[in-house]
Structure 1
C-alpha cells in the first residue's frame, strides 16, 4: 500500500470507528440509562434517515461547488466532536434528542465526503477503493471490540451504572482526531464549474425516475423500501436484546456481522454470475427472515449458537440485497443516469424506507414491552414474517428476463 492509500485508509478507519463507537449500543443506552420508550428509541434512530435525506443537498449544493472536500470534512467532524460531547452529558431523552438529530445531520454528509476525497486521490478506483474502504469496516469492528473487551462498557453491571455513556466520549475524541487529521489530507478542490456539479434533479435521483416504468425495477424499488422495515429492527433492537438476555460482550459479538459482510462481499459476484440477480435478491430477503427466527428462538443458554448465526447472517442480509441492488441499479440505468439512479435508491432506502422502519420498530417494541422486560420472541417474529411477505411478493412479481443475468456488469 502506498503512502496516499495508507492515509486514506486511516481516514476511513476513523470515519467508521466514530459511527460504530456509539451507534451499535445506542438502543441499549437509551432504554437503560435514559429510560427511553420504544417510540423514543425509534425517533433517535430515525435521525440517521433525516441525515441521509439532507446529505445529498449539502454535498451537492455546497461541497461539490464551493469548498475543498477535506476542509468541509474537517469542520464537520470538529463540530461533530462537540455534539458527541453534548450527547455524553445529556441527562434525559428530551435533552439528548436535539443533539443526536444535529449530529446525524452533520455526520451523514461526511460519508459522501470521505468517498469524494478517496476517489479524487486514487488513480485506479476499481482496484484501489475497496482496499481503502475495507478499513472503514475494520474501524467499526475495532470500536465494538474496544467497547466490550477494552472497557467492558456493555457488561450488565456497567450498563446499570451508565457505562455506555462513555461511548459518546470515546467517539467525540475520535471525531476530534479525524477533524484535525482531515486538514492534513490532500487538497480535494470543488468541481471547476457549477455546470460540472450535480443539480437538484440529479441529487434527488429525479433523472432516473424513468427506471420505474420498467416493471421489474419498480418491483425491486418497492421491495427495497419495504425490506428496510425489518432492517430497522436489527439496528434498533439487536444490542438491547442481547444485553437484556445476558449475552456477554454483546457489542464485540455483533462485530461478527461486519466480518461476515466483508467475506460475503467477496462471494457475491461469483454468486450473481452463477445464479443471477433475482436469486441473489431472494437469498438476501430469506436471510432476513431466517435471522429473526433465530433471534426469536435462540437464548443465552444451550441455544446461544442460534444468536451467533443470526449475527453472522448480516453479510448475507446486507450484501445479497443492498449491494446486489446497487449492482442491479447500475446495470439497469443508462450511463448518463447511473449516479442519479444510485441517489434515488439510496434516498428511498436509507431515507424513506429506514424512516418508516424505525417508526414501526419503535411501535412494535412498545407493544410487546412489559414491566419485567420485553417479549422478544414476538418482537422478532414480526420482522421475520414481514420479510417472508416481501420475499413472496417479490418472487411472484419480479419478472426479470433470464434471471436478470444480462444485467450483470461485465466487470463483476
Structure 2
C-alpha cells in the first residue's frame, strides 16, 4: 500500500514541477517573445493575460464536471492532452489572432488541472499542510529551473525557441497527468451542515476572495511587463531569469517554513502582512531605476506576495469549503484571484503601459495592494479562540 502511495506522490510532485516549469518560461519570457514579434503594448497585455482569463471560468467548469461525473483521473488526462494539442500550433503562428486562438485553447485545458490536483493532494495527505508544502515545493523548483536555464537558453539561441521549449514542458505535464493516482473515496455524511450558497454568503469568504482578487490585480504590471520593464532599464536577459528565480527561491523557503510561521502568527496576521509587503515591493520596482540591489530586494517580497498569500488563502478555503465543496471552493479561489484578478490586471496594465509608462503602472499597483490591506484589516477578524 505504501508503494502505490509513494508512486502517486512522486507523480504529483512531477506534475507540480512541469506545471510551474511552464509558468517559469511563460511569465518571464512570453512578453519578451511578443515584443520581439512587434506586437503593440495593448496586444501584449491581452496575450499575456490569456492564462489568467481562462482561470476565471475553466477551473469552475472542469471542477463541476469532475464532481458530477466522478471521472477526475480521466479529466486530468484530457486536460494534459488538450494543452499539448493547443501548444503544438504555437511555433507556427505569428499573427495576433493565431497566437490568441492557440494559447486560449491550450490554457483552457492547462488551467483546469491545478485545482483538481490541489484537491487530490489535500485529500491524499488528509489536509497535512506541512506535507503539502513539501510536495508543492516541486512546482517552485520547476519554476526556478526553467526561469534560470530559460534565460541562458533564450540568450544563446534566440527568443524564437520559446514556443518549442513550452511545448516540450507541456508534453511532460501530459505524461505526469496520466500517472496521477485516483482520489480516495470521500464520506459526505457529516458534510451537510452548510450549503454552498451559505458558505459563499459568509463575510470572511467574501473578504478573502475580494482581497485575493486585489492582490492578483496588483500583479498585472509585474506578470505582463516586468521583464520588458527591467530589460528596458538595461538588465540583461540572463539576469532577468535570475531575478524571477530569486523570487521563487524565496517562495520555496517560505513554503518549507510555513509550519514555523503559522505556529507564531495567526492566519489573519500573515494574510495582512502580504498586502503591506506587496505595496513596498511595487514601489521598489517603480523607483529602482534598474539598480540590481533594489530589484533583488523587491524579488524577495515574492515570499509574501505569492507564497504566504497563497498558503493563507488556501487555509481560509480549507476552513470554509469542506468535503463535497472543497473542489468548488478551490476552483473559485483560483478563478477570483489568478483568473479574474490576474487577467484584468494584465489587460489594464497593457492599456495603461504606453500612455502612463511603467513607473506609473507599478505605482498604481502599489495603491491597489494597499487597498487590499485596508479591506482585509476591516473585514477579517481573529478567531475567538487563540490557542
CA distance in 2, matches of 1:351, 1:329: 16
Larger RCO: Structure 1 or Structure 2 (Cα < 8 Å, ≥ 6 residues apart)?
Answer: 2
Tell me by how many angstroms 1:123 deviates. 6.1
CA distance in 2, matches of 1:11, 1:340: 21
Residues 355 and 180 (structure 1 numbering): CA distance in 2 closer, same or farther, change over 3 Å? closer
Residue from 31, 34, 38 that aligns with 1:27: 31
Tell me by how many angstroms 1:107 deviates. 0.6
Superposition TM-score, scaled by structure 1 size:
0.79
Residues 304 and 407 (structure 1 numbering): CA distance in 2 closer, same or farther, change over 3 Å? farther
Structure 2 unaligned blocks of 5 or more: none
Asked if 1:13 corresponds to 2:17, the answer is yes
In structure 1, the residue corresponding to 2:252 is in which secondary structure?
helix
CA distance in 1, matches of 2:260, 2:37: 46
Deviations 1:14-72, CA, capped at 9 Å, x for gaps = 22223322233112222x22222332222223322332233334433434454754444
Q: CA RMSD in A?
A: 3.4
In structure 2, the residue corresponding to 1:25 is in which secondary structure?
helix
**Equivalent residue number for residue 371 of structure 1:** none
Asked if 1:138 corresponds to 2:126, the answer is no
CA distance in 1, matches of 2:207, 2:7: 45
Asked if 1:88 corresponds to 2:84, the answer is no
Residues 378 and 50 (structure 1 numbering): CA distance in 2 closer, same or farther, change over 3 Å? closer
CA distance in 1, matches of 2:218, 2:10: 36
Greater displacement, 137-146 / 72-81? 72-81
Residues 220 and 65 (structure 1 numbering): CA distance in 2 closer, same or farther, change over 3 Å? closer
Asked if 1:43 corresponds to 2:46, the answer is yes
Any residues of structure 2 matched to 1:13-162 within 5 Å, and which? 13-30=17-34, 32-66=35-69, 68-115=71-118, 118=121, 122=124, 126=128, 128-149=131-152, 151=153, 153=154, 155=155
**Equivalent residue number for residue 398 of structure 1:** 379
CA distance in 1, matches of 2:94, 2:259: 47
Tell me by how many angstroms 1:125 deviates. 5.6
Structure 1 unaligned blocks of 5 or more: 369-374
Residue from 246, 252, 261 that aligns with 1:256: 246
Question: Which has a greater percent of helix?
Answer: 2
**Equivalent residue number for residue 365 of structure 2:** 383
Residues 85 and 186 (structure 1 numbering): CA distance in 2 closer, same or farther, change over 3 Å? closer
**Equivalent residue number for residue 177 of structure 1:** 172
Tell me by how many angstroms 1:230 deviates. 0.8
1:19 touches 1:171 (CA, 8 Å); kept in 2? no
Residues 27 and 135 (structure 1 numbering): CA distance in 2 closer, same or farther, change over 3 Å? same
**Equivalent residue number for residue 182 of structure 2:** 188
**Equivalent residue number for residue 208 of structure 1:** 199
Greater displacement, 168-177 / 384-393? 384-393
CA distance in 1, matches of 2:230, 2:306: 20
2:115 touches 2:327 (CA, 8 Å); kept in 1? no
Aligned length: 377
1:21 touches 1:168 (CA, 8 Å); kept in 2? no
2:116 touches 2:327 (CA, 8 Å); kept in 1? no
Tell me by how many angstroms 1:332 deviates. 5.3
CA distance in 2, matches of 1:274, 1:267: 11
Residues 65 and 123 (structure 1 numbering): CA distance in 2 closer, same or farther, change over 3 Å? same
1:299 touches 1:307 (CA, 8 Å); kept in 2? no
1:52 touches 1:108 (CA, 8 Å); kept in 2? yes
Asked if 1:242 corresponds to 2:224, the answer is no
